[in-house]
Amino acid sequence: MQERIVITGMGTVNPLGLNVKETWTNLIEGVSGVGPITLFDSHAAGVQVHIAAEVKGFKPENFMDPKEARRRDRFEQFTIAAAREAVTHSGLQITEANAGRVGVIISSAIGGLASLQEAILTTHTEGPRRVSPFLIPMLMANGGAGMTAIEFGIKGPCFSVASACASGSDGIGTALMMLRTGMIDAALTGAAESTITTTGVAAFDRVGAMSRRNDDYSLTPQPFDKNRDGLVMGEGAAVLVLERESDAKARGAVIYAELAGYGATADAFHVTAPQDSGEGGASAIRMALASARANIDEVGYINAHGTGTLLNDQSETRAIKASFGDLAYKIPVSSTKSMTGHMMGATGALEAIFCVQAVREGILPPTIHYETPDPECDLDYIPNKAREINTTLVISNAFGFGGHNAVLALRKYS
C-alpha cells in the first residue's frame, strides 16, 4: 500500500501577513490585501494600473544578515522568511546524516524581475561596468531554492519549477512524486514571487489581464462576479515541509494534513487564454483525484484559481462542472485571490496552505467583493463571509499562462 505523504510545517509571507497565523486570521475575516502601489511611483512610471497586493511591513534584516539581504532579490528574501517559518514549524532537524535525503523544490514563474529591470536601466544609464556582480543569482528563478538549500545545509535534489501561475502547485506535486518513489525522505517545497515593478505591471496590463479600478480598489478583484474586470497583482512566498507519514510519526512531528494527490495537464490551446471548455483543467482535477484514490463525492471544498478575469473564471467554472457534474452545485468554491491578489507562481503554494487550514479548522475562506452573479459562473462561491463546514478532502486549482493546469488534493489527517 502506498504510504501517505503528510505536511508537517508551513511558512508564508504574503499581502495578508508575515506568518501563517496572521495570514489565516485575516483571510477568514475577509480582509483585503489590496492597496495603492508603494514599491515604485506608478503615476510617474506612466502605467495605467496603480494598485497591487503588496507584502506590508516586511524587513529582510529580520530574517537574514543585512549585507546578505542587499544581495538578494525581494522574491528570494520572501523565500528565506517563509522557509524559516516552515522548518521551525515542523521541527525537522537537518543534519549531515540526512541532508542528502532532503529536497528543495521551491518554484518561481518569473524570478528576480525587479533586479533584472534595475540592471537593464543601469546598463543604459551608467554603463555595463556598473551592473552588480550579484545580478545572476538575484534574477535566476531557482535562486530561492538554491539559497534555501544553503540556508539549511540541504544537499538533496534542489530546483525550481517554472510553469507560469501553476509553478507553486507543480513544484509541490513534483515533491509529492519524489517522496512517493523514495528519491527523498523530506522536502521543503513551495514558491515565491515579486513582480510588482513597472515592467511587470505594464506587461500584465498590456495582456488585458489587470483590474484598473485605481479609485475603487476596495472592491477589486471580483472573482466570479459579473462585473469583474481583471486580476490584481500580488507577491509573496509560501513553503511547506513534506514527509512520509512513518518518518513524521517516528520523530513525533505534528501532522497538519495529508497531501493526497496531484494532477497536471496542458490545454495545448493558446499562450495566454484558457481553453473555453475548461477540459484541460477538468482533466487535471480528475488526475488529482485518481492520484488521491478519491471519489468526486468526497470533495468538500475547491480553492479556485479564480483570478477575476473574464475568461479564466468562466473556463474554470466549466472545468469544475465537467469534473463533478451535478455535484458541482453542491461543492463550496472560493477564490482567496479576492484577498491576496494574484501572486503569480507563488499563489498555488499559498493556497495549498489555505487548504490545509480549511480541513484542520473546519472553516472555508470566502470570495470577497462578490455582489452580482454571472449566469456563466453559477456555482457556490462562498460570497463575502467564511463558512464553517467540516470536510475531509479539498482540492486546489492552479491554471497558468501557456495552458498549464495543476491541481492538488489535500486530505484531513486522522
List the catalytic residues.
Answer: 165, 305, 342
Ramachandran area for residue 222 (φ above 0: left; ψ -120 to 50: alpha; else beta): beta
With H, G, I as helix, E, B as strand and everything else as coil, classify residue 174. Answer: helix
Residue 257 host element (H or E)? strand 257-266
Residue 100 grid coordinates = 542528502
Q: Name the H helices within 35-98.
A: 42-45, 66-69, 74-90
Label residues 383-394 b or e (16+ Cβ within 10 Å = b). beebbeeebbbb
Rounded to 10°, the helix 347-361/20-28 angle is: 70
Residue 1 grid coordinates = 500500500
Residue 196 grid coordinates = 510588482
63-106-141 Cα angle (round to 5): 90
Nearest CA-CA partner of 176 in 280, 115, 272, 257: 257
Q: Which residues pair with residue 158 across a beta bridge?
A: 104
The answer to whether the peptide bond before residue 223 is cis (omega within 30 degrees of 0) is no
Q: What is the dihedral of CA 40, 79, 394, 90, to 10 degrees?
A: -150
Provide Rg for the chain, Cα atoms. 20
E strand segments, 151-251:
158-159, 186-193, 236-244
DSSP state of 325: G
Nearest CA-CA partner of 203 in 174, 164, 175, 237: 164
CA distances from 393 to 73, 94, 175, 289, 297 (A): 36, 31, 20, 10, 10
**Cβ-proximal residues to 158 (8 Å cutoff; 6+ apart), any chain:** 103, 104, 105, 142, 145, 146, 148, 149
